[in-house]
C-alpha cells in the first residue's frame, strides 16, 4: 500500500513537467474500461470459530463520470463479477462472487500537463452471490460502506487517457451457515485499476 501511495505522489509531482493538455470541463462525460484487482486486507475476522482469509479477485471494470462543474465529477464504478476463495485456518472452505458498484465524487486537479491526478470520496454497495461450500448453505449479506479513490490520468490524445487508480472500500459482511450466524467477514479491500478513459 505504501508503494502505491508513493507512486501516486510521484505521478502528481511529474504533472507539471509534461506538455499542456485540456482540463475536464462542466458537461463532459467520460467512460473508462479496464481491469481491476480487489485485494482484501490480511486477516478477515473469525468465521465459525476459525480465522478467515479471503483471496483476491480480478475482473473487468467500467466507469462512467459526469462533470457537474469544471474538474468535479460524479462517477459510477461497475464491473464484471469478482470471485474470491474463502480460507478458514489456512484451508479452503468456500467461494463467493461479488459486485461492488460504487458512486463517488472526484476532484481532478487542474494541472497544465498530460498527467492529471484526482481524489474521490463515495459510497460502495457490495452484493454477494453464488456462495459455494461443502459445509452446507452459506449466505453472505450485502454491504454498504465508504470508498476512497486516488489516481491519475495520463493523456494520450485530446479525448483519451490511460488511468491508474487505487480505491479503499469499507466492506463487511455477516455470514450465515445453514441459517445460523457464524461471524462477520471484514474484507476492506484495496482495489487497483488500470483503464482506458475516453471523454465525450
- pLDDT, tens digit, 9 for 90 and up, residues 47-68: 999 999 999 999 999 999 999 9
pLDDT at 9 over 70: no
Average pLDDT over residues 130-155: 96
Q: Domain range for residue 165?
A: 2-199
**Cα–Cα distance measured from residue 188 to residue 126, given in angstroms and rounded to the nearest whole number:** 11
CATH at residue 34: 2.40.160.20
**Cα–Cα distance measured from residue 146 to residue 138, given in angstroms and rounded to the nearest whole number:** 26
Q: Specify the number of domains making up the chain.
A: 1
Q: How confident is the model at residue 109 (pLDDT cuts 50, 70, 90)?
A: very high
Maximum alpha-carbon separation in the chain: 60
**Cα–Cα distance measured from residue 130 to residue 87, given in angstroms and rounded to the nearest whole number:** 16
**Cα–Cα distance measured from residue 126 to residue 62, given in angstroms and rounded to the nearest whole number:** 15
With 0.95 as the threshold, say if the pTM is over it: no
pLDDT in tens, 14-57: 443 433 445 688 999 999 999 999 999 999 999 999 999 999 99
Cell 454497495 identifies what position? 125
**Cα–Cα distance measured from residue 85 to residue 72, given in angstroms and rounded to the nearest whole number:** 37
b vs e for 62-98, b when ≥16 Cβ sit within 10 Å of the residue's Cβ? ebebebeeebebebebebeebbbebbbeeeebbbbbb
- Other Cβ atoms closer than 10 A to 44: 24
Amino acid at each position: 500500500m505504501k508503494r502505491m501511495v508513493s507512486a501516486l505522489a510521484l505521478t502528481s509531482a511529474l504533472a507539471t513537467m509534461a506538455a499542456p493538455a485540456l482540463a475536464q470541463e462542466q458537461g463532459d462525460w467520460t467512460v473508462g474500461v479496464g481491469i481491476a484487482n480487489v485485494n482484501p486486507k490480511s486477516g478477515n475476522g473469525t468465521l465459525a470459530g476459525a480465522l478467515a482469509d479471503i483471496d483476491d479477485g480480478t475482473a473487468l471494470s467500467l466507469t462512467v463520470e459526469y462533470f457537474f462543474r469544471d474538474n468535479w465529477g460524479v462517477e459510477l464504478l461497475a464491473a464484471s463479477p469478482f470471485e474470491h476463495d474463502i480460507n478458514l485456518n489456512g484451508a479452503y472452505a468456500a467461494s463467493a462472487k461479488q459486485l461492488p458498484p460504487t458512486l463517488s465524487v472526484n476532484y481532478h486537479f487542474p494541472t497544465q500537463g498530460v498527467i492529471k491526478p484526482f481524489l474521490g470520496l463515495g459510497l460502495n454497495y457490495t452484493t454477494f452471490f453464488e456462495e459455494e461450500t461443502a459445509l452446507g448453505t452459506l449466505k453472505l449479506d450485502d454491504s454498504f460502506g465508504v470508498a476512497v479513490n486516488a489516481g491519475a490520468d495520463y493523456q494520450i490524445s485530446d479525448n483519451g487517457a490511460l488511468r491508474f487508480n487505487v480505491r479503499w472500500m469499507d466492506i463487511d459482511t455477516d455470514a450465515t451457515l445453514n441459517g445460523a450466524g457464524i461471524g462477520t467477514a471484514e474484507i476492506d479491500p484495496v482495489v487497483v485499476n488500470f483503464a482506458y478513459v475516453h471523454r465525450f
